Amino acid sequence: MRDLPPISQSAEHFQRLGLHEEEETPTEPNGRLKSSSGTSSLPCSIYFPPTGSPTVPPRRNHAGLDPQFLPLRKQIVSQVSLESPLSPASLPRSPWGRPDPYDSPEDQDKEYVGFATLPNQVHRKTVKKGFTFTVMVAGESGLGKSTLINSLFLTDLYKERKVPNAEERIGQTVDIVKHMIGIEEKGIKLRLTIIDTPGFGDAVNNIKSWKHIEDYIDQQFEQFFRDESGLNRKNIQDNRVHCLLYFVSPFGHGLRPLDVECMKALHEKVNIIPLLAKADSLTQAEILKKKMKIREDIRQFGVNIYQFPDCDSDEDEDLKTQEQFLKDSIPFAVIGSNIQVESKGRKFRGRSYPWGVVEVENPVHSDFLLLRNMLVRTHMQDLKDVTREIHYENYRAQCIQNMTRMMVLERKRRWVEMKAEVETPTTKEISLSDLRKMQEVLERIQEQIQQGQ
C-alpha cells in the first residue's frame, strides 16, 4: 500500500469522532488495523464511499478497504451527525489527510460520481513526489547575496566559502557554484537548489561576464530537452533555473550598464527578480527614490523582469490589493543577517548598530518578508510555470527550428551531391566503357588473325 498517512493523525481522527481504536477496531502492534484476510494491514483513517452512492458490487476501494468496515463508517457518520456538528477541524479526512469532499453529514444521502476528490488525488501524488525549486543569485560580490540566501531559507550554505582578494579578482571569471538542500516542513519535501555566481562583476573587464550564467541556464534547458526527448522519460531531473535574484547596489544611481546588459542577455531565459541590496544602508526616502529610479531604468532599457500574474476581475479584493502591493514594491529592498540579536527581551535575525537594531523580518524595516512569502508561499508555482511555459518553450521552439533548418540544409547538400554524381561519369563508368572498347578491339584482332590463317 502506498503513501499512507501517519498513524498518529489517523488515531487523532478517530478520537475526534468519539471512537477509541482499541474498542472499535482490532489493531496490530504497528498501530495498523488488523485485516480479516490477513493479507493487508489498513490504516485507521480510511476513505469510505458515501452511503448514497450508486450500488456497485462489494469490492475493496483503492485504500484497500474491506466491505466489513462499512458498518463502522455508518456508526461514525451517525455519531458525528447526532452528537457533534462538524467544524472544519473535525471534518473527516481522506486517507492522505485532506478533508474529504463527500464526508459531511449533508452529503451522505446524495449520489456522487466522485470527481470532487480529484484535487486530493493530485495533492497526494505531488506530495509524494516532493517539490523542486532552483534559485540563482547574481550581483557584484559584497552585496549580501550569501547572507540573504541563508536568511531566506534558514540555512548556513556558505560555511566553507573563500573570498578571493583584490589581486585574485583582477582576471577572475564567473564561477557557477551549486548548493543543494533538502527542506521538509509539515511532511512536504522541497529540494532547493541555489546557484551562486561568484565573481560576477568583479573583474576589471566585465564585458560578457554574464556569458557563464547564460550558458549555464541554456545547458539546463538542453539537458531537459534531451531527457524529455529520450527513451526513459520517467525519472527526469528538472534542473531548470526558476528565478534569478539580481542584486542591485544601494550605492549607485539606479541600474549600472553592467546590470542592464546582463539582465537583457538573460531576461528571455529566466524570471528576473531585482533586489535592492543592503536596504538598511538607506533612509526610507532614499529607498523609495532608488526603487523608482530602478523601475524607470527597467522600463527605459526594455528589460523584461518577472511579471506578477494579473488577478481576475472576480478575484478577492484583498488578493488584488496584495498583488498590486507586490508589483509596486519592485525592486524588493532587502536586508540579510546570519546572526540572531536580542532586543527588548526578543531574539530575532537582525543587525545591531550603535543607534539601534534592524530586524530582517520586520516589514517596516525591509521587504525581506514580502520577498520570502512571494518566493515560497505565493508565487513559487507561478515561477515554475512561467519557466516551463515561456522560457523553456522558447528554447525548445528555437531548438526545433534550428534542427529543422539543419535537416533542410543537409538534405539540400545531399541532393546537390547526388545531382553532381549523375551528371559527371564516375571512374567506374569510364572503365566499363573502356573495357567494352577494348573488348571490341580484341574481337577485331581475333577476326583478323583467323582470316589470316
Binding residues for ligand GDP, rule: CB under 6 A, are 141-147, 278, 280-281, 335-336
Give the integer Cα–Cα distance in Å for 97 and 103.
13
> Judged by CB, which is closer to ligand GDP: 238, or 367?
367
The CB-of-281 to ligand GDP minimum distance in angstroms stands at 5
The CB-of-215 to ligand GDP minimum distance in angstroms stands at 21
The CB-of-190 to ligand GDP minimum distance in angstroms stands at 22
CB-count exposure of residue 225 (10 Å: 0-12, 13-18, 19+) = middle
CA angle 364/368/374 to nearest 5° reads: 115
> Judged by CB, which is closer to ligand GDP: 141, or 209?
141
The CB-of-214 to ligand GDP minimum distance in angstroms stands at 20
The CB-of-335 to ligand GDP minimum distance in angstroms stands at 4
Distance of CA 429 to the CA centre of its chain: 63
The CB-of-181 to ligand GDP minimum distance in angstroms stands at 17
> Judged by CB, which is closer to ligand GDP: 10, or 249?
249
Give the integer Cα–Cα distance in Å for 108 and 10.
21
Closest CA to 335 of 307, 364, 295: 364
- The residue type of 360 is V
Give me 429's grid cell: 563508368
Give the integer Cα–Cα distance in Å for 112 and 50.
8
The CB-of-253 to ligand GDP minimum distance in angstroms stands at 19
> H/E element holding 340?
strand 340-343
Give the integer Cα–Cα distance in Å for 106 and 216.
56
Give the integer Cα–Cα distance in Å for 215 and 213.
5
| Kind of pairing between the strands at 131-138 and 177-185 | unpaired
> Judged by CB, which is closer to ligand GDP: 50, or 201?
201
For 93, how many CA atoms within 13 A lie in the half-sphere containing its CB?
Answer: 22
Give me 386's grid cell: 512561467
> Judged by CB, which is closer to ligand GDP: 143, or 266?
143
The CB-of-278 to ligand GDP minimum distance in angstroms stands at 4
The CB-of-327 to ligand GDP minimum distance in angstroms stands at 23
> Judged by CB, which is closer to ligand GDP: 100, or 140?
140
The CB-of-143 to ligand GDP minimum distance in angstroms stands at 4
Residue with cell 478497504: 65
- Residue of minimal Cβ distance to ligand GDP: 144
Give the integer Cα–Cα distance in Å for 95 and 1.
11
> Judged by CB, which is closer to ligand GDP: 80, or 262?
262
Q: 184 by DSSP, 3-state: which?
A: strand
Give the integer Cα–Cα distance in Å for 129 and 132.
9
> Judged by CB, which is closer to ligand GDP: 102, or 247?
247
Q: 280 by DSSP, 3-state: which?
A: helix
Give me 6's grid cell: 501517519
The CB-of-258 to ligand GDP minimum distance in angstroms stands at 15
Return the percent helix, strand and coil in the chain, to nearest 5.
45, 15, 40
> Judged by CB, which is closer to ligand GDP: 5, or 336?
336
- DSSP string of 365-417, one letter each residue: T-SHHHHHIIIIIISHHHHHHHIIIIIIHHHHHHHHHHHHHHHHHHHHHHHHH
CB-count exposure of residue 418 (10 Å: 0-12, 13-18, 19+) = exposed
> Judged by CB, which is closer to ligand GDP: 221, or 247?
247
> Judged by CB, which is closer to ligand GDP: 95, or 198?
198
